[in-house]
Amino acid sequence: MAARASKARRAFTGDATTARAMQAGKAAWWAASGLAARRLVRIDRGEGRPDVRSEAPPVSMAELRRAWLEAFAKDTADVEAGLYPYAEAPANPQRMFARLTDLFEDARAVDARRRRRAGTEARAEASSTAYPAYYRQNFHYQSGGWFTEASAQRYEAQVELLFSGAAGPMRRRALSLLARAWRDRDQRGLRVLDVACGSGAFLADLRASFPRALSLGLDLSRPYLKEARRRSGAAVVQANAERLPFADASLDAATCVYLFHELPPRVRPVVARELARVLKPGGVLAFADSAQAADAPGLKRLLDAFPALFHEPFFASYQEEDLPALFAEAGLRLEGHDSAFLTKALLLRKA
């Protein structure tokens, strides 16, 4: 499916002071909502509670809070430095409450799935020939997997709830690396592809940050692409990241946010090679994904708990993946890195 750009939800674009104020409001809203959700669903109690095995010491709440605040501080510093604008859809209280009610209603279904360890129910929703087996699962125990409109509409709020409103600042570490790489370039006509764009939050950031470049989104999920198009206004294409429908050396940049921890180990090199293939010589990949325990030893216990808490079947092997070596084998050299909260970001360049 290739779709033309449609009218995006209008974003508010502001300076660092506005960004700080809006982020504080958003963070407070999602942190309070997260607290309420955790009270509603006590996943650590009762039958079927997750079996978390970790030798790592308990995570210090002070360290977690420090890392969370740092994500916001880095984001606003980049807005202040003019690297990218703060572009957010204005808060709509009616919509926010509706979204939250839906999340709370769905939270019980998610918890029931977690207690039954039912991570593959979504197979019933999706054809076995159209999608790889590893994809036909309920990642995060989410209702509908990647296959329903309700899932696509709920996803961004679920992520915000999980990270207490820091999802945008976390993803934007990749935006920061790309903005630095492109700072001195005439961006007219540059082409950037967001691979595994999901419901389009990062794609919307790309469009707002590089209005003269052509930003495109790609994902395997039709409902998520529909949401991405609505959110960002960008053109999107349905395809498997293992076979990108773009010519060799045809893109100036690619971005890839939170895909690799959801790929089996044998598929990661395939996607890395595809990303390298479609980049022009000198083109860059701005990558962001979960932190690895080696980067954040103090958070190791939390990272160890992720697969059991959120049905992440490939997360443990992702923790062991040597990402710079993986991309080097594909022809992409590590040029920069950054981190925020539970996220790491890398900038890689094709020779």
Which residue in 240, 290, 319, 339 binds ligand SAM (CB under 6 A)? 240
Q: Which two tokens stand for residue 279?
A: 């980049």
Using the rule CB under 6 A, give the single segment among 98-106, 114-122, 216-224, 330-338 that binds ligand SAM: 216-224
Residue nearer to ligand SAM on the CB measure, 60 or 277:
277
Ranges within 303-332 binding ligand SAM (CB under 6 A)? none
225 belongs to the binding site for ligand SAM (CB under 6 A): no
171 belongs to the binding site for ligand SAM (CB under 6 A): yes
147 belongs to the binding site for ligand SAM (CB under 6 A): no
Taking alpha carbons only, the member of 326, 313, 340 closest to residue 139 is 313
Element (H, E) at 32: helix 16-40
141 belongs to the binding site for ligand SAM (CB under 6 A): no
Ranges within 120-139 binding ligand SAM (CB under 6 A)? 135
Residue nearer to ligand SAM on the CB measure, 56 or 309:
309
Which residue in 72, 147, 163, 202 binds ligand SAM (CB under 6 A)? 202
198 belongs to the binding site for ligand SAM (CB under 6 A): yes
CA distance linking residue 108 with residue 91, whole number of Å: 26
Using the rule CB under 6 A, give the single segment among 79-87, 184-192, 257-265, 319-327 that binds ligand SAM: 257-265
Contact (Cβ atoms closer than 8 angstroms) between residue 137 and residue 311: yes
Contact (Cβ atoms closer than 8 angstroms) between residue 29 and residue 260: no
151 belongs to the binding site for ligand SAM (CB under 6 A): no
Work out whether the CA dihedral 36, 169, 333, 277 comes out positive or negative. Answer: positive
The contacts of residue 23 (CB under 8 Å, 6+ apart) are 72, 75, 76, 86, 165, 169
CA distance linking residue 290 with residue 287, whole number of Å: 10
CA distance linking residue 44 with residue 147, whole number of Å: 28
Binding residues for ligand SAM, rule: CB under 6 A, are 135, 146, 171, 196-198, 201-202, 219-221, 224, 240-242, 257-259, 262
